[in-house]
Structures are given as structure tokens and as C-alpha cells.
Amino acid sequence: MNGDRVPIGRRVAYLRARRRLSQQSLADRLGKSKSWVDKVERGVRSLERVSTIRDIAAVLRVDAATLLGRDAQPANAVGDSEEIARIRGALSAYEVMRERPAPVLSPDRVARHVGYAWTAYQHARYPKVVELLPSLLRDVQRTYARDPTAGRLVVEAYRVTAALLVKLDETDLAWLAADRAMAAATGDRVLVAAAAVQLGQVLRSSARARSVLLTAAYRIAPSDLGAGSPQELSLCGALLVQAGLVAARCGDERASGDLLDEAAEMAARVGDGHDHHRTAFGPTAVELARCAAAVEWGDGSAAITRHKQAVRRDGWRLLPVEHRAAHLIDAARAYLQTDDPGNAARVLLDAEILAPYEVRRRPAGRDVLAQVAPGPKAPAMIGELALSLGLV
């Protein structure tokens, strides 16, 4: 019996028959009517509540994941430890110390691989990025060891590594990758600014990070905003956004607002629909940051207001999938702060449809899923997902 293709009602019927229970017997044990069981098995009535699914599973003596036709996953299965270990190994390797020369790819080929990794990341294909990173890091290190002009590729490879590891809550490794990016960028103010964007993501909870971000921002900032290039403004603005989010995490609401206001001025000149230096910086991105900041200081109502306005902007659909899905996680948190688990579940379902791995593999997404799934207004898909991941 292929559980992934069989409707849950038919699985109930199959498992009930295997247990040699009649519809009436199952109904009696559940405190339901025989008609209710019959409708469930025929697919006329859907199973939407997590508690009901768990009750049926208990009576049929199977776990909820089996009833749903999925293999159960432990709640902390955010990423395969062996895959993370390979990334750690690649970050710890020093190609210049190898006794035997290793194959070296051309800078052009490595550039294509780096670009593909960024594309996969921005489409929230996190398992694919995890798979790519060990070989990518080795390739850029080998290429750079023999061709110092490939420094930009090293910075970009470490940046995407840090971005992914932040998603997976691998903070120590993310810090190492961001630090490697900063070191490789030394001497080039543009590359330093680009690397500092990921450093800000890693050090979001550190008040000291704000000064590092602002230093990098003002080094890249044009003396005259009107004369600044979109690339310069995007990097400077993205750094101001990160500094604003650091301030918000540290409880400095006023400083956060001032920094995001400054970023908004630059965003207005850049416009939406661009991705200079992999920042996706623009007016809509700043609005999403304002929402995230409001969530950080606990003003769920303000965050929800900004969320509703932001997703109606033309620039919303121009943002990378990863950026939009991450925002939806923030919006779900905002709804939870206002004691509205129904809308939190609805927004989380939007995130799941848009970018499944943002909910399934990112710890922040899984945490919200675990909170909203047991609610009576949670969509059936959310309840089933939480059960299959072992979160409820």
C-alpha cells in the first residue's frame, strides 16, 4: 500500500480492516457515529484536527505518521549531521597545505558553480545547497590558492555558506564562514561590504555587530546619494537594514527605526526588482525588515499591519522565494504575538506552499509550525505536516 498516493480515508479503512474492527467498533472507540467513520473512509469528510488524527492512530495502534502515509522524522532533524559535518570539513580544509596537487577548476567554471549555489539558496532549495557546498568550498579554495584573482569567488562562496548555515541555526559554523568571507574580502571595500551583510545575519543578537555593520556601510556609501550607483546603494542599504535588525533584537526601537528610515531613502533610489550583490535590496525589502523589527520588539499588531501592506506591493513577487518565505515566517510569529493562531497557520501554509524547506528544515519555521499545528483552526495540511515531522 503506497501511503503517499492513498487518501487518508482509504488508509483509515485499510488499517481498520487490518485490525479487524468494524466501522461501528472504530466509531465507538472514538466516540463518533458509524456514519462519521463511513464518511471519513469515503473521503466525504476530511480530517482536519491534529487531535482527531492522533486519536484514530491510537485506536488503530499505529503512529500518526503511518496513518498519514509518511515516515516519521524526529523533531530535531533539521539537517543531516553527516552533511553538516562535510561542510565543517570543507571549511576546515587548507588547500595550500596539500602535499599533492588537486584538480583545479577554471575561475569561469567555479563562478558558474557559485552562481548556481546562490540560485538554489534564493529558491529555498536548502537540501540542494547543503549537498553542493562541500565540493564548492574545496573548488574555490583550490582555485584561489593558484589564482589570487579569484578572491571574489571565495567571498561569494563563503557568503552563501554563511547564509545557509544561519538558516539551519548552525551559528558557530555560520560565523566561521562569514569570518572567512570578511578575511578574503580584505582590501576591497565592495567585497568587505558584501561579506558584512552575512556577518550581520550571523551576529544578529550581538550589539557589537551594529558598529561593524555601520562602519562597512559608511565606507561603501556614496558622498552624494543622488550620484551613488545602484550597487553601492544596495550594499549600503542592506547593511543599514542588518544594523536596524540588530538594534531591534537588542531592544533599541528608536535606533532600529532610524536605521531603517535611512535604508528606505536609499531603497527609493534603487527601486524594486533588483538583486545587486545578492541583497535583493529595495523598498519592499525595507518594508519586510520593518515588519521583522516590529516582531523582534514584540509589537505584533504593527508587524501585521506592515505585512498586509507589503504583500500587496508590486515588489513583493519580485523578491527571491527565500526572502518572501522567511518574511511569512515572521508574519506568522506576529499573528502568534496577537493571539491569532488561525491566521498564523494560514500564513505558515502560504510559506509551506511557496518554499517547503523554509518550514520543514529551518528551525524558526519548525518552531512556528509546532505552535500553530495543534490549534483547531489550523489547516489540515499544517496538522499533517507537523505530525509527519514529529513536532506534535
Tell me: pLDDT of 236 over 70: yes
pLDDT for the residue numbered 64? 73
Number of C-alpha atoms within 13 angstroms, CB side, residue 300?
14
Q: Please give the C-alpha separations between residue 289 and each of 244, 261, 278, 328, 392, in angstroms, as whole numbers.
A: 8, 11, 16, 12, 30
Tens digits of residue pLDDT in 98-134? 555 567 889 999 999 999 999 999 999 999 999 999 9
pLDDT for the residue numbered 6? 66
375 pLDDT tier (thresholds 50, 70, 90): confident
Tell me: pLDDT of 283 over 50: yes
Number of C-alpha atoms within 13 angstroms, CB side, residue 341?
14
Percentage of the chain beyond pLDDT 70 is 92
Separation of alpha carbons 227 and 266, rounded Å: 11
Tell me: pLDDT of 21 over 90: no
The mean pLDDT of the chain is 88
pLDDT for the residue numbered 101? 58
pLDDT for the residue numbered 224? 84
Tell me: pLDDT of 96 over 60: no
Tell me: pLDDT of 77 over 50: no
Residue 321: all three cell numbers together: 522565494
Residue with the bigger pLDDT between 339 and 9: it is: 339
| Nearest residue to 240 (alpha-carbon basis) of 300, 206, 179, 285 | 285
pLDDT for the residue numbered 391? 81
Separation of alpha carbons 182 and 197, rounded Å: 10
pLDDT for the residue numbered 1? 47
pLDDT for the residue numbered 105? 86
pLDDT for the residue numbered 58? 83
Tell me: pLDDT of 392 over 80: no
pLDDT for the residue numbered 70? 59
Mean pLDDT over 314-319 rounds to: 97
| Nearest residue to 91 (alpha-carbon basis) of 147, 136, 151 | 136
Tell me: pLDDT of 73 over 70: no
Tens digits of residue pLDDT in 178-204? 999 999 999 999 999 999 999 999 988
Highest average pLDDT, of 87-91, 181-185, 208-212, 387-391, comes from: 181-185
Tell me: pLDDT of 3 over 50: no
pLDDT for the residue numbered 48? 65
Q: Render the burial of 123-149: b for 16+ CB within 10 Å, e for the rest.
A: bbbbebbbbbbbebbbbbbbbbbeeee
pLDDT for the residue numbered 378? 82
At the fourth CATH level, which superfamily is domain 8-68? lambda repressor-like DNA-binding domains (1.10.260.40)
Tell me: pLDDT of 72 over 60: no
Mean pLDDT over 68-94 rounds to: 68
pLDDT for the residue numbered 139? 93
H or E, element range at 214: helix 208-220
79 pLDDT tier (thresholds 50, 70, 90): very low
Separation of alpha carbons 24 and 36, rounded Å: 10
